[in-house]
Structure 1
Amino acid sequence: MNYTLLLLAADEKTGGGLFGNPIIMMILMFVIFWVVLIRPQQKQRKALAAKQAALKKGDQVITIGGMHASVNAVSEKTVSLKLSEGVFVKYDKSAIATVLTAKADAADKKDA
């Protein structure tokens, strides 16, 4: 009887193996967060920055405020958007949320 109690006490002290170590669990959680949350967001941010840098006259864009417009002129940090005939608004490039080029519009219409 005493022998089984000693075995149970010894099992409790081991901590459950490799994943019982709190440091390994914290590292594992960080890796999971990196793969699931941080890395995809970084890729998305880089893709948007590349699209913003490649803006050219005639591209259709959507601003972060939801305004749909076409690009009239592009400078280093700003972009002039044409809302309607004779109405132009100047925005920072960082305010562009989505870039819709003519190729993307044709592909969207083809899929629909």
Structure 2
Amino acid sequence: MTGQDATLGMDFMVPAGIRLDLTDGTFCLPDEVRIQLSGRRTLYGEHASAVRLEEVEVIEAGQKIEMPLRFKPSEKLWLTRGEHWIPTVVKGAGWRRYLQLTNISDRTRCLPAHTQVGM
């Protein structure tokens, strides 16, 4: 919105379906189009790599699955929560770390391959 000034109150934005994402300095329109806020840098660079599921994962209601993380301990990891699952980092033996996904719904959930769970 370069060259444009707009003051939108939450009374307007919420009913219109507009969401502010202050983590990366964008606002998201109802059709999931993201617009960068003026004068704001993203918190993560363009070199951030996504952590995605390698295969389809089926998680029973209230159950957990674990998968090994391939990150160095010095690297930062940002997790992405889903509507029906919560990610957690679990320490293993030595430097090993695992990503644990917990199904918080009351039904079995199927997470498709390539679902982004972090970055």
- For the superposition of Structure 1 and Structure 2, which TM-score range results when normalised by the shorter chain? under 0.3
TM-score by length of 1: 0.20
Which of the pair has the greater relative contact order for Cα pairs under 8 Å at 6+ separation? 2
Structure with more of its chain in helix, by fraction: 1
TM-score by length of 2: 0.19
